[in-house]
Structure 1
Amino acid sequence: MESSRADLISRARAGDDDAFQALTEPHRRELQVHCYRMLGSFQDAEDALQDTVVAAWRGLSGFDGRASLRTWLYRIATNRCLSTLRSAARRPATAWDIPGVEPPEPTRLGEVVWLEPYPDTLLDGAIQVPLGPEARYEQTESISLAFVTALQALPPRQLAVLILRDVLGFPASEVAGMLDTTLDSVKSALKRARATLQRNQPPSAGHEPPPATASPTENAIVAGFVHAWETADVDALVALLTDDVFMSMPPLPLEYQGRDVVGRFCGAIFDAGRRFALVPTRANGQPAFGAYLIAPNGVRHGTGLYVVTLAGDRISAMTRFENSMLSPFGLPRSLPPQA
């Protein structure tokens, strides 16, 4: 195994693209998920992954083998993400722009407005990765929208340290090497990051765990949500929600918490005469739906993507994303009239 790896490295250094692909391809999916956790954006993660692969190709001559190839690739990816976080302006918040609909007063204005969902179809083989013994999070938990959102509130260095240590379980000494810093600095950053996450627990903290994927309970909630949304039945929708249900709409900063206010928000949408068709998919390990507005001629135009967080047999959170997120999920921008 080691001799074949050494041969691939030697050939790749000599310019053999096939050898380089054989070395890096097994790690691409997990690196993309790592970049997604760091950046909270599917598109930014795609860009960071491409930058990582290019940097690895160009810098392979500097790989000395003291760390594993996987660790070396994570070092490159992490530093590419840190550069993105520190330099480029993140996507700004947008203003409410649905004509004829006046939303209720929000519970608060959110600070994390650049969040994007991650398609479950790309998670295969990406979260079943070898973890160090000090990893503190289940891989499915660490890709949830609530967790990824909470990560985005951390300063960049603390964010990187927490993901590398608590999500992936890299030893502190390796993390120090990846970030060109000291062991004490890593320990200090991790302590502060953990404290910040603890203070910023998501609204769903303490809820019942979600039902198993594709279980009868999950299927019943999904069917109930689709029926309520497509028939504009606010009462049926509200009956599915937890008392403290949380709704957000990045990049809109409006956030709503509580069954009554979320019900009023959805009622304002339905009262305006807007009717929708939903197409099920999955994002971040959670049920998701492409939302299509039905035009007078029956054509259904994509307006966004909803991701729902489940707790027991209820919905504890709804997150609505822009229609630009339909494409990464393989969903069309429009659908023909139903027969």
Structure 2
Amino acid sequence: MGDFATDTEPYRRELLAHCYRMLGSVDDAEDVVQEVYLRAWRGYGAFEGRSSVRAWLYRIATNACLTALAHRSRRVLPSGLGAPADDPSAPPVAAEARWIQPVPDAMLDPAVIVTERESLRIAMIAALQRLPGRQRAVFLLRDVLAWPAADVAQVMGVSTAAVKSTLQRARAQLAEEPPDVEESVEPGELEGVLASYIAAVEDADGAALERLLRADARVEATPWRTWFSGRATCVRYLVEQVLGAPGDWRLLPTAANGRPAAVGYFRGQAYGILALTVTPTGIAGVHAFVGPELVRRFGFPAAL
């Protein structure tokens, strides 16, 4: 046996990504990863190398996530609570819910962002939360991490046949409400769209936002259940209720879930994280995650 830290520490950030996909929250994922490493440290002396250290850690992490899910309601986006609103001038309605959170790219393994990028996007995280916990785990281990069915069976404590049937059910449920599929955009174009979006918001320029958004764009923000779909409705909502005057907003570029994002400040105070879904034909979605604690999580100050 080697040294515990040397053997296990290289997997911490990819385990965080796995737990984040399972739980939909970077806060919950960090808590579980801490628990995983505590359990692993306690059991390290009895670990006899019957599997790789990586597989052993994933088994602990997956089961820790399943235990956590058994005691918590699922996390959602506003669009998961009902249909879009049709009156952009009406005040948004708040909701008590456990909201999905964005994850800072800086907390993830760069290799995970490259190879598992599609499974990190906000729409996919939301879709995964609709699956029962065990289906979610099997789908992630088989279809995202590409583990053999026999290895997944060992992690889950079931037969290989049970893994295959669980995976079929998970795929079928995801196919009923498939997450939006993004077309690839070159990194340089992503940076350009983010810069244009930041300028439009800081200038309170509704016309510029209209040029950036796709016709079928959606805008949603926690903690409100109210969300909007369609460029015309979204722009009216942003102009009438969000943008304010030029200079009210300050946005700083960052990256979340493997995609461009911005940290938002309103009149100098931390507002939250604005995650963009960018396609070759424009911005398809703006997900605003409100909360100064998220701003701090992304490594930015609470005020400018």
Equivalent residue, structure 2, for 1:303: 271
Give deviations 1:28-60, integer Å, cap 9, x for gaps.
Answer: 111111101111101001001000000111122
- The alpha-carbon deviation at position 91 of structure 1 amounts to 6.6
User: What residue number does 1:322 align with?
Assistant: 290
Higher RCO structure (Cα 8 Å, ≥6 apart): 2
Structure 1: gaps (5+ residues):
1-5, 9-18, 95-101, 130-137, 295-299
2:250 maps to 277
Q: How many pairs are equivalent?
A: 294
Identity over aligned pairs, percent: 39
Q: Secondary structure at the match of 2:70?
A: helix
SS at match of 1:87: coil
The Cα shift of 1:82 comes to 0.6
The TM-score with structure 1 as length reference comes to 0.80
User: 1:234 touches 1:266 (CA, 8 Å); kept in 2?
Assistant: yes
Distance 1:167 1:92, change over 3 A: closer
The equivalent of 2:303 in structure 1 is 334
Aligned to 1:98: none
User: Is 1:181 the equivalent of 2:153?
Assistant: no
Q: Which amino acid aligns with 2:197?
A: F
What letter is aligned with 1:308? L
| Secondary structure in 1 matching 2:158 | coil
**TM-score, structure 2 as length reference:** 0.88
* CA-CA distance at 1:104 after TM superposition: 4.5
Q: Distance in 2 between the 1:291 and 1:114 partners?
A: 18
Distance 1:302 1:161, change over 3 A: same
The range that moved more, 120-129 or 181-190, is 120-129
Question: How far 1:67 sits from its partner (Å)?
Answer: 1.5
| TM-fit CA distance, 1:21 | 0.7
CA distance in 2, matches of 1:111, 1:189: 31
Counterpart Cα distance in 2 of 1:292 and 1:157: 39
Hey, what's the Cα distance between the residues in 2 that align with 1:255 and 1:226? Answer: 21
Q: Does 1:142 align with 2:119?
A: yes
Listed as ranges, the matches of 1:54-203 within 5 Å are 54-89=38-73, 104=89, 113-125=98-110, 127=112, 138-202=115-179
Q: Distance in 2 between matches of 1:110 and 1:154?
A: 22
- After TM superposition, give the deviation of residue 27 of structure 1 in Å: 0.8
CA distance in 2, matches of 1:179, 1:312: 40
| Letter of the 1:267 counterpart | V
- Residues 218 and 286 in structure 2, CA contact (< 8 A), matched pair in contact too: yes
Equivalent residue for 1:291, pick from 253, 264, 270:
264
CA distance in 1, matches of 2:133, 2:89: 34
Q: Specify the structure having the higher radius of gyration (Cα).
A: 1
SS at match of 2:226: strand
Looking at structure 1, the residues matched to 265 and 295 of structure 2 have their Cα atoms a distance apart, in angstroms, of 10
Distance 1:311 1:267, change over 3 A: same
Whether 1:312 aligns to 2:289 is: no
Structure 2 residue ranges without an equivalent (≥5): 79-86
**Structure 1 contact 293–301 (Cα < 8 Å) conserved:** yes
- Shift of residue 152 of structure 1? 0.9
Structure 1 segments (4+ residues) deviating >3 Å: 88-94, 102-113, 270-274
Give the distance between the partners of 2:134 and 2:59, measured in 1 at CA. Answer: 13
Separation in 2, partners of 1:103, 1:188: 44
SS of aligned partner of 2:274:
strand
When residues 322 and 286 of structure 1 are mapped into structure 2, their CA distance, relative to the original with a 3 A threshold, is: same
CA distance in 2, matches of 1:111, 1:165: 34
Q: Measure, in 2, the Cα distance between the counterparts of 1:192 and 1:56.
A: 31
Deviation string, structure 1 residues 227-249 (Cα, Å, up to 9, x no partner): 11011111210111111112222
Tell whether the 8 Å contact from 2:16 to 2:108 is kept in structure 1 after alignment.
no
